Amino acid sequence: MLKKFTRFLFSREKIQYDVLIVGAGPAGLSAAIRIKELDPNKSVVVIEKSGTLGGHILSGNCFQPTAMNELFPNWEKMENKPPLDTPVSEDHFHILWNEKLSLQIPHMFYPSTIRNHGNYVISLGDLCVWMGEQAQALGVDIFTSTAGARVIFDEKDRVIGVATGDMGIAKNGEKKSNYQEGIDIVANQTILCEGARGSITERVIEKYNLRKDCEPQSYGIGLKEVWEVPPEDFKAGLVQHTVGWPLCRNTYGGSFLYHKNTNQIHLGLVVGLDYENPNLSPYQEFQNLKKHPKISRFLKNGTCISYGARVLNEGGYFSIPKLTFPGGMLAGCSAGFLNVMKIKGSHNAMKSGMLAAETICAKQNVEPGQELVEYENAVKSSWIYDELYRSRNFKGSFKYNIYSGLFYGAFDGFISKGREPWNIKSHVKESESYLTKDKAPQIKYEKPDGKLTFDLLDNLARSGTNHEHDQPAHLKVIKEAGPKESINLYDGPEQRFCPAKVYEFIDTKEGKKLQINAQNCLHCKTCDIKMPKDYIRWTVPEAGGGPNYSGM
Amino acid sequence: MKVLVAVKRVVDSGIKVRVKPEGIDLQGVKMTINPFCEIAVEEAVRLKEKKLIAEIVAVTIGPKQGAESLRHALALGADKAIHVTTEARIDQAVQPLDVANILAKLVERDNYNLVLMGKQSIDDDFNQTGQMLAGLLDWPQATFASNIQITDGVAQVIREIDGGLQTVKFKLPGVITCDLRLNQPRFASVPNIMKAKSKPLETIPLDKLGKLHNSIQITKTEAPAVRKGGAIVENVDVLLQKLRTEAKLF
């Protein structure tokens, strides 16, 4: 500890701020904006691993404007308005039985909590670009292409900032001609807003045992495409959700399809990562989904312009950890505020960022390393907690199959409304939920047709993902025997769950060998969650790499 | 010695571009500094670190977002920047001869000893601006530079040409355009990005320096043809038949 501290004192370059925010997503940018509104003299920096604002943002997104209305009460009258230009016009829910049939649930059967009237179809990436501009206009420093590698501790083991990643290291670990050591960003408070399964966040949660009194977090993977369609197939503001086919009834998941101005369709599939069949490929299930008439009717004359994937939280209320630690706090999906029933988390992320800002600004003379426990109280007495508590049993009720979940959703939505005295917890560790390969049913996926369904690598080009190839693989094998066990026991499900074909087992003389195509990585974090034996740890690669999403 | 480095803001090389009737769809697309221009900036910074030049001025032509490329050049080590502003599409309407004329005006105004540029931009791949600028100024030029040495006002440049490598020597002032293997640009560190914000940036509307004549008209922009599957043929006769009937080669 003393060695680390002395090294910190004497070697790397340092810059100092009042508040450091890791991640330029809705939570981070809301926090930054709110701090500057309340106290313009506070110095605020946001670091973002993507090369551009919105570059690593992927979300549905049917946006509930509650937090936006609080952060920018006059947003509708602003000259440079936020990109909320598609109000929801229609709201549909279908249960898909098979590849042809479906049952539409009439609108009157939707509990009020999931009705989308008053919401907007947006691109969260575009909203983050707009929020970034607002933040910069208020004097926030935003550094893109700046990756947070690890937190910095003081001699009392409190967080006093974040060290950015070194750049220009070759695959063999040597320094290249453009090597640049990272710097230490030191701050009185550090707000971690990395999104679901943040790489720094998970280490901090482990270190301070923030999950001591809560359920472990559960996750799903969300795959998404954006299509451009002719005007005759486009209905601005149409929102459609489905459950059922192509997922089997024991696999949690469902699809979303939103019509966004102009002539764009944002659609995707969420698959709960506690699925048990190692032969399942979430990507192929998504391609299958598009063949259903309820989906293909909109896409048949269109062009796919974008693709990507990211995990999302599914633990809800029971999985929220302790929100503060010495020197900082968790906000947004790094904490886990996604409302699973609504599949909405952006509004809660923004609100939590604002509450973090308000907590910091309410305190006189914040000392470095101080733990501001008032933040947790603020979140617990806010509408974030109200709505998460209300729908707390939603995901758990799916533990039998989707019908038990839907039935309970209706029961909870209309009758109990969250007031039921019981709690249904259903966490299954995703990396341990597999059937062995002899017990797992085979799944035959059809070849893509190139028009409606696509080969994964062809689609991957639409994510714009790239990494400097001459760098150490950022996906670290932390258990040497892991790959062998994965292929022997489960036939290597990582070859199928990764939405970027990072993991391949190739035949060699010594048998099957794992090849990691780290350059393809979409930073979705699925492997960090679902890898058999947890043999992979996702770490942040050289900054600037990763997807180049635009308008996702 | 003063160096002018011209930089262009282009679509990032990793992006899969989409084609619209009026050209490439630039809406929301990630833009970065042209890789060869970045190499030119890096070379200027290295020459300054070797104390061979005293001042680096970066210039770009484009809309207000073009200033990002200038800030990047300043963060890499340029001292000052000039932003020639225009709302015209830089990937279509801002063309080599017009750019060369504008740069020539700046050279005359500010008395530079050396102009460094990328050999070409990755959006139009014209590979003309540096050569035209040298012609307009009546200066020597060395293009596709993979190595630059400057001693006592004389530049010695190794050029990458089709046949191999060619070494040329000339007395400055001159124009040098930079090729891929000249150097690997450094990363802009956070402290340098912060310092760059306070470096001087001069803004000049384009019509004060020149005009866009649009002498090259883009008549059509198409996506490349979708690659068709191949076929394995059994023997040369079938191959010849396919070449005649399908490929229509003869």
Query: Is the CB of residue B184 less than 8 Å away from at least one CB of chain A?
Result: yes
Distance of CA A42 to the CA centre of its chain: 29
pLDDT confidence of residue B16: 83
**Partners of residue B203 on adjacent β-strands:** B83
pLDDT confidence of residue B238: 92
CB A465 within 8 A of CB A522: yes
Task: Give the distance from residue B187's alpha carbon to the nearest chain A alpha carbon, in angstroms.
Answer: 7
Query: Is the CB of residue B26 less than 8 Å away from at least one CB of chain A?
Result: no
Domain spanning A2-63+126-214+321-390: CATH 3.40.50.2300:
no
- Cβ separation A180–B184 shorter than 8 A: no
A178 neighbourhood in chain B, CB within 8 Å: 184-187
- Cβ separation B187–A464 shorter than 8 A: no
- Cβ separation B14–A464 shorter than 8 A: yes
- Cβ separation B189–A143 shorter than 8 A: no
- Token pair for B71: 């800030």
CB A254 within 8 A of CB A314: no
Instruction: For residues B35-40, give the mean pLDDT.
Output: 98
**CB nearest A183 (choices: B12, B30, B191):** B191
Q: How many Cβ pairs within 8 Å bridge chains A and B?
A: 53
3-state secondary structure of A217: coil
- Cβ separation A548–B189 shorter than 8 A: no
- Cβ separation B32–A51 shorter than 8 A: yes
Task: Find the closest chain B residue to A182 by CA distance.
Answer: B189
- Cβ separation A550–B30 shorter than 8 A: yes
- Cβ separation A176–B186 shorter than 8 A: no
pLDDT confidence of residue B228: 78
Task: Find the closest chain B residue to A47 by CA distance.
Answer: B190
- Cβ separation B14–A146 shorter than 8 A: no
Task: Find the closest chain A residue to B188 by CA distance.
Answer: A180
Rg of chain A, C-alpha, whole Å: 23
Q: Record the pTM.
A: 0.93
Distances (CA, A) of B81 to A442, B33, B174: 62, 14, 20
pLDDT confidence of residue A415: 85
**CB nearest A146 (choices: B14, B28, B190):** B190
Among A122, A466, A552, the residue to mutate for chain B (most B Cβ within 10 A): A466
pLDDT confidence of residue A33: 98
Q: Tell me the per-residue pLDDT of B58-89, one tens digit each, with 9 for 90 and over.
A: 999 999 999 999 999 999 999 999 999 999 99
β-pairing verdict for A62-63 and A120-121: antiparallel
Q: How far apart are CA A19 and CA A14, in angstroms?
A: 14
Query: Is the CB of residue B30 less than 8 Å away from at least one CB of chain A?
Result: yes
CB A484 within 8 A of CB B39: no
Instruction: For residues B233-241, give the mean pLDDT.
Output: 92
Q: How far apart are CA A42 and CA A26, in angstroms?
A: 20
pLDDT confidence of residue A379: 97
Domains of chain B: residue spans and CATH: 2-225 (3.40.50.620)
Residues lower than pLDDT 50 in chain A? none
Q: How far apart are CA A448 and CA A296, in angstroms?
A: 14
Q: Tell me the per-residue pLDDT of A353-407, one tens digit each, with 9 for 90 and over.
A: 999 999 999 998 899 999 999 999 999 999 999 999 998 988 888 877 888 888 8
* Count of C-beta atoms within a 10 Å radius of residue A415: 10
Task: Give the distance from residue A24's alpha carbon to the nearest chain B alpha carbon, in angstroms.
Answer: 16
B186 neighbourhood in chain A, CB within 8 Å: 168, 178, 180
Could you tell me the pLDDT band of residue B192, with boundaries at 50, 70 and 90?
very high
- Token pair for A332: 């947004």
**CB nearest B14 (choices: A180, A185, A548):** A548
B14 neighbourhood in chain A, CB within 8 Å: 464-466, 548
pLDDT confidence of residue A479: 95
Q: Tell me the per-residue pLDDT of A149-181, one tens digit each, with 9 for 90 and over.
A: 999 999 999 999 999 999 999 999 999 988 999
Predicted-complex ipTM score: 0.86
B11 contacts: CB under 8 Å, gap ≥ 6: B17, B24, B26, B29, B30, B31, B91, B122, B123
A136 neighbourhood in chain B, CB within 8 Å: none
A465 contacts: CB under 8 Å, gap ≥ 6: A500, A519, A520, A521, A522, A546, A547, A548, B14
pLDDT confidence of residue A8: 54
Task: Find the closest chain B residue to A15 by CA distance.
Answer: B191
Could you tell me the pLDDT band of residue B17, with boundaries at 50, 70 and 90?
confident
Task: Find the closest chain B residue to A305 by CA distance.
Answer: B18
A143 neighbourhood in chain B, CB within 8 Å: 190, 193
Query: Is the CB of residue B194 less than 8 Å away from at least one CB of chain A?
Result: yes
Pinpoint the alpha helices (H) of B6-64. 35-49
Query: Is the CB of residue B186 less than 8 Å away from at least one CB of chain A?
Result: yes
